[in-house]
Structure 1
Amino acid sequence: MDFNLTEEQKMVQETVREFVQKELFPLEQDFMRNEREGRPGISDDKIMELQMKAKDHGFWGINTPEEYGGSDLGPFMTTLINMELGKTFIPFTFAGDADNILFNCDEKQKEKYLFPVINGERNCCFALTEPGAGSDARNIKMSAVKEGNHWILNGEKIFITRAHKADFAMVFAVTDKEKGGRGGVTCFLVDREMGWRHEPIPTMDDWQVNSLIFDKVKVPEENILGELGKGFELAMKWITLGRVKIGAWSIGIAERLLQMGVEQANSRMTFGKPIADYQAIQWMIADSAVEIEAAKGLVLHSAYLAEIERDARRHHASISKLYSTNMVQRVVDRVLQIHGGMGITKEFPIERWYRTIRKFRVFEGTDEILRRTIAYNLLKGHVKVGKSS
């Protein structure tokens, strides 16, 4: 088995790495200063300007099929890219993409929802989680009742990212109570103007999440995404790629932190010599390097399986997210310790990452639900010990 990257993969990786270092790293100090002073870290206009620069380098629609004008780089290449984007806390993403399940739109829906999202004309959000249905997504209670040619949606969604700027939401609701999550959930494309509203939820970092309130929201039947009763399958398709993405971000963050730790260890002097000479520091560096490499293998393997459309039970995606998100938390703790008092100040991004990455072990599958998934697959014989997927 050849673990070397192809020349094309190396070129893409290096190009994105150079873009991040040249265009995004220099913005970090102003970003942190703006946050300390209560202003947005970066404006939407600046993000758009950066996206246009990236487009000039050929990075547009990296996950959009070629038939829609995208590059369609696939899960493996995208994972390499997300590792590089993870090395900065500037919230940058390449333009020209849409959530993977939006490609299930019919022809009429594509004109109204998919194409405007790809072109940056409309924003959307993914609305699955509810106050009583986070890890147990099959337990969602939001109801959708048929009335003539419309469905009436009632209920609440919670911890929804991008809802504050979304023009429409991909909303999962129960259309058949008897079937529940197994064939009774449907995904709807719901425009904001149809009547839903959002309410901000303060979190421990800059993660902007919201509650979505639906009170007798009337949705045309033609706004069903995919098929009636097939919403849960769409939701899991979205979440699986999300787990691989979080693993890639974790690796990028950990690599940036480890480099900061190495530089600090070599430059900080105590008792007449650099702290890099002390075994306690050396072991922090070594353990972090080993764990990063282990996580990288797991995440890239998961991306490869996603590329060839295997791992249908999300086994390896669960393994890679569980390990990588716990890994980066250990790395940031060590690097903060290496920096001592400076590590907890807002002059360095370490304390910011310390808060930011904690959520990685909660959303898109908690540690506990990931362990449950992994154990279930093994105990039920869906995955055999020692056999490849």
Structure 2
Amino acid sequence: MNLNLTDEQKMIQSTIRRFVENELIPLENDVLRNEREGKPGVSPEKLRELQLKAKEFGFWGINTPEEYGGADLGQVMMAIVTMEVSKTFVPFKFGGTADNILYYGNEEQKKKYLIPTINGDKKSCFAMTEPDAGSDTRNLKMTAVKDGNEWVLNGEKTFITGGNEADFTMVIAITDKELYQKTGRNGATCFIVDRDMGWKSEYIDTMGEWGPAALIFDNVRVPEENILGEINGGYNLGLEWIGFARWLVGARAVGAGERLLKMAIDYSKERHTFGKPISERQAIQWPIADSAVELEAAKWLVLNAAFRLDEGEDNRHVASIAKLYGSNMVNRVVDRVLQIHGGMGYTRELPIERWYREVRLWRIYDGTDEILRMVIARNLLKENVRVGQLN
């Protein structure tokens, strides 16, 4: 087993790190000021400028297939890139990507939705969660009723990331109520729905800077050709979308945790009490050590989940472990870092309190702690995975 990065991976990691340090971290004060004033942290124009600058370095479509103009660097590299970019709270994503389930579209759908999304000409969002169907995805209520060559959609989706900015949504609706109630899986279909077809979005205010949306569908008519994948097969597409993102939350947790820990180490050397730096106090050294140990563990859980995907294996079990551990780990780390900074950590002069609010969300979306524990335990109890199993 080789746990070392290749020379190419090290070069990419180093280049991404310089990009984050030179282009993104210098924007943090502006982002904090904009957010305090109720403005977007980074304007769409500035975000596009940054994406194009990154493209000059070859970072476009990090995991997009080469046939669509992407770099297709693989999942391990995706994990490393995510860790590096997550060392800042500046809301930046590399361009040239699209939702994984859009690749299931037919040729006409790819031409109309996938390619423009990859090129940055259109923005998408995925909508499955409802007011009464969060973790319990089998309690969906939104309906789609056939009327001639169209489907009429009615219902509400909630906590949809990117829903306020999206040009179109991939939305899951019940198309066969009887089948869905019987199976809890079949009978739901995924539709690609343009905003100008009639759905509306409403901003949801949260304790963090994440601004999700509620999507309202009131007799929205969608043509037959906008079904994504197979009719009554949308539930599986929804699970695939959720599963793909799950382990990347763990990668974000590692990146944020490493930046926060570095802030704590630097501050502990500068801050003096009773004649010496607090870095010499055991009460400060132990939380620093504990954080370093947990970060290292989380990093290898994430890389293991990514490696399994690159090998073509089913990584859902290890992805759940990586997400559960990583998201809880970073919440412990940010709490320790705030404590080390004392009163200054609680102010908005430093970004610690912002991270404190943001990382709390990571234990909820893409699988709550409770759901992940249920999934992990079920796999073990049913012996889908055995204790100590390495493959």
Structure 1 length as normaliser, TM-score?
A: 0.98
| Residues 309 and 234 (structure 1), Cα distance of their counterparts in 2 relative to 1, 3 Å cut | farther
SS at match of 2:151: strand
**In the aligned structure 1, how far is the partner of 2:229 from the partner of 2:91?**
30
Single out whichever of 227-236 and 189-198 deviates more from structure 2.
Answer: 227-236
SS at match of 1:164: coil
Verify: 1:207 aligned to 2:210, yes or no: yes
Q: Is the 8 A contact 2:41 2:91 kept in 1?
A: no
- Quote the residue 1:318 is aligned against: 320
SS at match of 2:362: helix
Match of 2:223 among 211, 215, 220: 220
Give how far 1:246 is off. 0.8
SS at match of 1:170: strand
Give how far 1:29 is off. 1.1
The letter of the residue matching 1:303 is: A
**In the aligned structure 2, how far is the partner of 1:38 from the partner of 1:272?**
42
**In the aligned structure 2, how far is the partner of 1:296 from the partner of 1:229?**
38
- Quote the residue 1:330 is aligned against: 332
Aligned residues: 388
**In the aligned structure 1, how far is the partner of 2:112 from the partner of 2:93?**
23
| Residues 294 and 16 (structure 1), Cα distance of their counterparts in 2 relative to 1, 3 Å cut | same
Detail structure 1 runs of 4+ shifted over 4 Å in the superposition: none
Describe how 1:254-265 pairs up with structure 2 within 5 A: 254-265=257-268
Give how far 1:138 is off. 2.0
- Quote the residue 2:356 is aligned against: 354
SS at match of 2:375: helix
Describe how 1:164-313 pairs up with structure 2 within 5 A: 164-180=164-180, 181-311=184-314
The letter of the residue matching 1:165 is: E
SS at match of 1:202: coil
- Quote the residue 2:76 is aligned against: 76
Q: Is the 8 A contact 2:185 2:236 kept in 1?
A: no
**In the aligned structure 1, how far is the partner of 2:6 from the partner of 2:352?**
33
- Quote the residue 2:377 is aligned against: 375
C-alpha root-mean-square deviation of aligned residues, in Å? 1.0
Describe how 1:113-192 pairs up with structure 2 within 5 A: 113-180=113-180, 181-192=184-195
Give how far 1:79 is off. 0.8
- Quote the residue 1:88 is aligned against: 88
The letter of the residue matching 2:33 is: R
Give how far 1:39 is off. 3.0
Give how far 1:374 is off. 0.4
**In the aligned structure 2, how far is the partner of 1:240 from the partner of 1:74?**
16
**In the aligned structure 2, how far is the partner of 1:293 from the partner of 1:222?**
48
SS at match of 2:177: coil
**In the aligned structure 1, how far is the partner of 2:214 from the partner of 2:38?**
23
SS at match of 1:165: coil
SS at match of 2:250: helix
- Quote the residue 2:23 is aligned against: 23
Give how far 1:178 is off. 2.4
**In the aligned structure 2, how far is the partner of 1:211 from the partner of 1:38?**
19
The letter of the residue matching 1:301 is: N
Structure 2 length as normaliser, TM-score?
A: 0.97
**In the aligned structure 2, how far is the partner of 1:221 from the partner of 1:62?**
33
- Quote the residue 1:343 is aligned against: 345
Give how far 1:253 is off. 0.3
Q: Deviations over 1:126-166 (max 9, x none)?
A: 00100111111122111111122111111110000111111
- Quote the residue 1:44 is aligned against: 44
**In the aligned structure 2, how far is the partner of 1:178 from the partner of 1:3?**
50
- Quote the residue 2:3 is aligned against: 3
- The unaligned stretches of length 5 or more in structure 2 are none
Single out whichever of 35-44 and 50-59 deviates more from structure 2.
Answer: 35-44
The letter of the residue matching 2:354 is: R
Q: Deviations over 1:220-270 (max 9, x none)?
A: 111011111221221121111211111111000000000000001111000
Q: Deviations over 1:353-374 (max 9, x none)?
A: 0000000000000000000000
- The unaligned stretches of length 5 or more in structure 1 are none
**In the aligned structure 1, how far is the partner of 2:295 from the partner of 2:329?**
7
Percent of pairs identical after alignment? Answer: 61
Match of 2:368 among 366, 369, 379: 366
**In the aligned structure 1, how far is the partner of 2:186 from the partner of 2:35?**
45
The letter of the residue matching 1:125 is: C
The letter of the residue matching 1:45 is: E
Give how far 1:36 is off. 2.4
**In the aligned structure 2, how far is the partner of 1:218 from the partner of 1:242?**
30
Q: Deviations over 1:165-215 (max 9, x none)?
A: 111100001112223242211110001111110111100011010110111
Q: Deviations over 1:270-326 (max 9, x none)?
A: 0000001111100010000000000001011011112223225x2111110000000
SS at match of 1:178: helix
**In the aligned structure 2, how far is the partner of 1:233 from the partner of 1:388?**
27
Give how far 1:380 is off. 1.2
- Quote the residue 1:385 is aligned against: 387
